Amino acid sequence: MMKVPTVISFSKTTSPIVRGSGRLRASLFLWLMLASVACACNIPVFRYALERWRPDPCDIVVFFEGELTPTQQSLVDALNPALETSASGTNAQAANVKIVQSNLKAPDAPLASLWQSISGDDRDSLPYVVVRTKLGPGQVINGWHGPLQSIADNRLLQSPARRELGQRLLAGHSVVWILVTSKDSEKTAKARQMLTENLEPLSNKIELPDGIGLPGSELHSEVPLLLKFSMIEIKYDDPNEEFLTKLFTGFQSEAVADGEPLIVPVFGRGRALEVIPASEMTSRLMEDLTGFLSGACSCQVKEQNPGFDLLLSVDWDTELYGEDAPPPPERTKRDRQKPVLLTIPPGSKP
């Protein structure tokens, strides 16, 4: 029987990017600075993302040579549109994936370059799969790759941690902090203690923005609006979570090699804000990040906000709004309005 990863929670109602520690702190500081400049609406960032930001699809690139056998094609077809049955057995869940098939006898240039960049002893075990996660405009990370027949064993589309993550976000958790342990038990224990000691104080200290429900700041789903923070712990060598651990390690490979656990704050529809080595996470940084995600949404355009979307098998719109109700637009009418240009008269000469 598979075990659901450790979960601790407290609540209050009302190509990879390489980042050194200095660059990481600088980028987070810049986001927090920009978040305080102007507010487009009073909905918390985590709630706006849950209700409106549709997850970016992960590209599942299938390399093969010649033709796929019927058995191989059935494995590929099972990933598209990747429907699974929920734990309750009543609702279908669709993963945010896009299948791309590439015949190595006639590949297009970008995929040919991708294939040449892949290394590994099992590279010649065709068909071969590469999963690419979008980081931003023109930026991707190859988070997982391996033979097609190994997909089921590696739980590519679903895993206990991701299932638990989706359920908690739909239940109203504001931020779920993922802790990926390391081989260094002392560093892992220190990181676990730092997170757990801050969850309850943050739930009492952080406040929701004023004006929620006013025009331009309406809520659209029945999910309770809470300040609720929780932690999911994933063991670094858990075979069920290999997809996630490989993805996160790709961001901080040097830190992982040094025995660092990784901390990933997740919000919205499974959007990871950042992958942070545990040694760089402090109570102050945790409070700043939580405050940013719980504060008024300063920019409603998803692509202009930090983070990247995890591969989750959740039909978000159906879970939030039902089968027949249309979801709200990704951006409010106010945010789509064109700016008004004003003529500024020349200043008087001294």
Characterise 216 by phi-psi region: left (phi > 0), alpha (psi -120 to 50), beta (else): left
Distance in angstroms (rounded) separating the CA atoms of residues 309 and 316 = 13
Q: Select the highest-mean-pLDDT range: 142-151, 209-218, 331-340.
A: 142-151
pLDDT digits (tens, 9 = 90+) for 93-103: 578 999 999 99
Q: What is the pLDDT of residue 301?
A: 63
Residues 233-279 pLDDT 10s: 999 999 999 999 999 999 999 999 999 999 999 999 999 999 999 99
Lowest model confidence (mean pLDDT) among 32-41, 55-64, 80-89, 126-135: 80-89
For residue 256, the model assigns a pLDDT of 96
Q: How confident is the model at residue 40 (pLDDT cuts 50, 70, 90)?
A: low
pLDDT above 70 for 163: yes
The helix/strand/coil state of 201 is helix
Mean pLDDT of the 313-318 span: 93
CB of 80 within 8 A of CB of 62? no
Residue keyed to tokens 């997850």:
55
Q: Label residues 243-271 b or e (16+ Cβ within 10 Å = b).
A: bbbbbbbbbbeebbeebbbbbbbbbbbbb
The CA distance from 321 to 308, in Å, is: 23
Rounded to the nearest 5 degrees, what angle is found at the Cα of 86, between the Cα atoms of 192 and 272?
40
Percent of the chain with pLDDT over 90: 56
Instruction: Answer whether 104's CB lies under 8 Å from 115's CB.
Output: yes
Report the distance separating Cα 80 and Cα 159, nearest Å: 18
Alpha helices in the chain (DSSP H): 21-35, 45-52, 70-77, 109-117, 160-170, 185-205, 242-251, 253-257, 283-294, 316-321, 333-336
pTM of full prediction above 0.85: no
**Both tokens of residue 117?**
């960049």
Q: Is the pLDDT of residue 39 over 70?
A: no
Do the Cβ atoms of 65 and 42 come closer than 8 Å?
no
Residue showing tokens 């993550």: 165
